Amino acid sequence: MNSIYILLLVGLVAGLLSGLVGIGGGIIIVPVLVYFLNFSQQQAQGTTLFMFLLPIGILGVMNYYKAGYVDYKTALIVASTFIIGSYFGSKLAISLDQKTVKQLFGIIIVILGIKMIFWK
């Protein structure tokens, strides 16, 4: 039963962060699934991607759109190649051992965090 509360809380926090600063899915949900619910790195990533199949961001997108902050042309262009990248990235992640995938995930988060803190 505790895992249900963890999942509800992580969904709420990830949703809040997604609406607030545009992050939440991978950066919040994947580590929670791995470290608190004992998912493998691949299970956590696959589960998070499945979650994105549903229109979970529609209300947040509507608010940004109404305020004039959605560039739908850019979003559609990025989405068109995101689909291809997601397919090949998932194939690669499945073929690697869990430790390597976890290390790659951590390295990417650290590099992005440092860049956002110290560069304009």
Domain chopping of the chain, boundaries: 2-118
Structure pTM?
0.74
pLDDT surpasses 80 at 15: yes
> In the prediction, which pLDDT does 1 show?
66
Q: How many CB atoms sit inside 10 A of residue 4's CB?
A: 8
Comparing 74 with 20, the larger pLDDT belongs to 74
> In the prediction, which pLDDT does 37 show?
93
Nearest alpha carbon to residue 36 among 68, 3, 5: 3
CA atoms of 14 and 113, how far apart (whole Å): 17
CA atoms of 71 and 66, how far apart (whole Å): 12
CA atoms of 44 and 67, how far apart (whole Å): 33
Q: What is the mean pLDDT of the chain?
A: 88
CA atoms of 54 and 51, how far apart (whole Å): 6
> In the prediction, which pLDDT does 52 show?
83
